[in-house]
Amino acid sequence: DPSLPRYRLSTIRQHDAHSPEPWVTSSDKVYNITSWVSAHPGGDIILRAAGKSIDPYWEIFSIHKQPHVREILDQYLIGYIDVADLGPDGRPKMEEVEDPFEGDPKRDERLVTLTAKPRNAETPTGEVAREFITERGVFYVRNHMWVPQVDERTADDTHVLTVELPDGEERRYTLRELKTKFPSHRVTAVLQCSGNRRSDMTRQVGHTNGLQWGVGAISNAEWEGVRLADVLADAGLKVASYPSLTQTSPPPSDPQIPDPNTLHIHFHGLEAYSASIPLPKALSPSEDVLLAYGMNGGPLPRDHGFPLRAIVPGTVAARSVKWLSKIRVADEEATSQWQRRDYKCFGPNEGANPDWERAVAIQEMPVTSAVTGVWVGSDVKRVPWMGEKRLLATEEKGEGKKNEGEVALQGYAYSGGGRAIARVDISLDGGNTWDQAELVDDCAGGKCKGSKAWAWTRWRYCGTLPSPPTTRTISSASPSSSAPIQALEDGAEAQNGTEKKIGEKDACTELIVKATDTSYNSQPETHAGIYNVRGNLATAWHRLRVCPKC
């Protein structure tokens, strides 16, 4: 529409995120996005581009899956960029193309990068569960957008958490108030992405949408913070309580006092990510839901939510919202993409356009396990936890030269909801025979903080491969290798892998691990029956095919 006015870039810049009337540009068009921002849930993400061109952000907005962003934008066209600010190609002149990820922190090079912008990176396979507590630098990172910038020197006073109650009342806390007013708690808890082991499902069944994680989208840390329940009580949240176990009648039916079972807690991050959990999870002291400001004895690293994040133990990590700035108590789940669309599962037949409304949002995680280290033959003596004794015994029997069939495995098992791991089963012959792995007692002597089993259980196993040793070779990943363990399944040589001899009679053998939790939940045998187009909760038995090299 050529009758619309033209604006100078200097004018457009004034319509930034702080302006009552934010504008954005795309190509030479100018849009007034004021009513979009208020009318669309999550629409405020677009404020990141206010006063500037939205073009560098398209990638992120498409990840964000804002429905038909361009079409919506067209309704808000108010004019064009002044020709004085346009170059000969008709594009805005001297406009710095801003990189939304420019302010992201420096990252540990050991992490295995899936996407750089936004940052998505998994712990290298050999490092996963090598230690009980994951080192800060190799804790997996899952960012949907950029890392918000909060000044470390002033965060205690400048970072504010807003708590909104069901009646709309708001209470604000600076970080310093949170740290000083409430008792601090420590909780040892795993975070696991719903997409952990997704690549395994893809390989077994077929295409899945999403980042193709190996076994390293899971990590364990000791978190420090205040109980969400304490903050909600201080903010004045009143809900009906069920006073005693013997009481059979419903809670008081005062309409002013809502039943907690009908409410949800929404967590909002500074960069517009949001998600929710049911309120009873937040209110129960034994559920250990934290507003965390510390990790492994230090402050939260920026990638993991500095200066404040929610920690929801036993629940899919998508609910542990980072860069936490607002909490809302509401009578429905969060309306975000990440609550209503992304983190759900479907029947294997439901195809590429499943019924998102009908499916339940993932909260408590099911039981899973994985192998993160394999040593074969003479490498077994390099296993850090292998006792000297066992090797000596083998040598004494004159079997020193025949240890080619020996195998040592290590890995993790984890279940959600605070359920502990009861047993880890290992098969070295594709599931014909089974044995039990040794569970590592990392929580001995009260070393695990918190009311339930929120951490993972590490396990170890030594055995003998089924076929007699011959001169054929296979590849094996060393625990220090950053190559995903799946390299073994393809028969490809793992990075830093060493060639080892195994039996030729049966050229390949399949190593399997599966775990059972204390509710006797176990993992499905294959991914076929739990396939879903999003590749969420890929928890089938973890299988490694160990084959001779061609």
* Residue 192 near residue 226, CB atoms below 8 Å: no
CB of 194 to Mo ion, least distance (A): 5
The answer to the question of residue 362 lying near Mo ion (CB under 5 A) is no
Q: Omega into 252 within 30° of 0, i.e. cis?
A: no
Contacts of 102 (CB under 8 A, 6+ apart): none
Contacts of 228 (CB under 8 A, 6+ apart): 265, 282, 289, 290, 291, 310, 327
337-396 residues in contact with ligand MTE (CB under 6 A) are none
Token pair recorded at residue 428: 């070295």
- Active site (annotated) includes residue 242: no
CB of 220 to ligand MTE, least distance (A): 11
Identify the active-site residue in 173, 293, 343, 461: 343
- Active site (annotated) includes residue 185: no
Q: Which does 273 bind (CB under 5 to 8 A by kind): ligand MTE, Mo ion, none?
A: ligand MTE
The answer to the question of residue 312 lying near Mo ion (CB under 5 A) is no
Identify the active-site residue in 193, 345, 462, 547: 193
* Residue 457 near residue 444, CB atoms below 8 Å: no
Give the CA distances from residue 549 to residues 125, 391, 427, 473, 546, in Å, rounded to whole numbers and listed in that order. 21, 27, 22, 6, 9
CB of 338 to ligand MTE, least distance (A): 7
CB of 193 to ligand MTE, least distance (A): 4
DSSP state of 149: P
Total number of residues binding ligand MTE (CB under 6 A)? 19
Residue whose beta carbon is closest to Mo ion: 193
Phi, psi of 10 (to 5 degrees): -65, -35
* Residue 483 near residue 475, CB atoms below 8 Å: no
- Active site (annotated) includes residue 304: no
Identify the active-site residue in 142, 268, 304, 340: 142
Token pair recorded at residue 549: 């090299």
CB of 483 to Mo ion, least distance (A): 23
The answer to the question of residue 161 lying near Mo ion (CB under 5 A) is no
The answer to the question of residue 193 lying near ligand MTE (CB under 6 A) is yes
- Binds Mo ion (CB under 5 A): choice among 60, 308, 312, 318: 318
| SS3 (DSSP) at 410 | strand
Token pair recorded at residue 260: 């907690």
Q: Omega into 166 within 30° of 0, i.e. cis?
A: no
Q: Omega into 5 within 30° of 0, i.e. cis?
A: no
Please name the helix (run of DSSP H) or strand (run of DSSP E) that holds residue 408, with its range, or none: strand 406-414
The answer to the question of residue 142 lying near Mo ion (CB under 5 A) is yes
287-306 residues in contact with ligand MTE (CB under 6 A) are 303-304
DSSP state of 364: B
Burial 128-140 (b: 16+ CB within 10 A, else e): bbbebbbebebbb
Residue type, 25: T
Cα 414 to chain center, whole Å?
A: 14
Q: Which does 140 bind (CB under 5 to 8 A by kind): Mo ion, ligand MTE, none?
A: ligand MTE
CB of 208 to ligand MTE, least distance (A): 15
Q: Which does 191 bind (CB under 5 to 8 A by kind): Mo ion, ligand MTE, none?
A: ligand MTE
In this structure, the number of other CB atoms found within 10 A of the CB of residue 303 comes to: 23
Please tell me the distance from the alpha carbon of residue 495 to that of residue 539, in angstroms, as a whole number.
25
- Binds ligand MTE (CB under 6 A): choice among 66, 123, 125, 143: 143
220-279 residues in contact with ligand MTE (CB under 6 A) are 269, 271, 273
* Residue 454 near residue 186, CB atoms below 8 Å: no
The answer to the question of residue 547 lying near Mo ion (CB under 5 A) is no
CB of 285 to Mo ion, least distance (A): 26
Binding track over 111-140 against ligand MTE, x by CB under 6 A: ----------------------------xx
Please tell me the distance from the alpha carbon of residue 410 to that of residue 305, in angstroms, as a whole number.
30
Q: Which does 128 bind (CB under 5 to 8 A by kind): ligand MTE, Mo ion, none?
A: none
The answer to the question of residue 193 lying near Mo ion (CB under 5 A) is yes
- Active site (annotated) includes residue 266: no
- Binds ligand MTE (CB under 6 A): choice among 128, 265, 317, 455: 317
Q: Helical H runs in 193-316?
A: 198-204, 228-235, 279-283
CB of 312 to Mo ion, least distance (A): 12
The candidate with the shortest Cα–Cα distance to 103, out of 123, 83, 117, is 117
Identify the active-site residue in 7, 15, 31, 64: 64
Q: Which does 459 bind (CB under 5 to 8 A by kind): Mo ion, ligand MTE, none?
A: none
Please tell me the distance from the alpha carbon of residue 83 to that of residue 92, in angstroms, as a whole number.
9
Nearer to ligand MTE, 9 or 312 (CB): 312
CB of 74 to ligand MTE, least distance (A): 28
The answer to the question of residue 318 lying near ligand MTE (CB under 6 A) is yes
The answer to the question of residue 142 lying near ligand MTE (CB under 6 A) is yes
The answer to the question of residue 414 lying near ligand MTE (CB under 6 A) is no
* Interface with ligand MTE (CB under 6 A): 139-144, 191, 193, 269, 271, 273, 303-304, 317-318, 320-323
Q: Which residues are catalytic?
A: 40, 64, 142, 193, 343
The contact set with Mo ion (CB under 5 A) reads 142, 193, 318
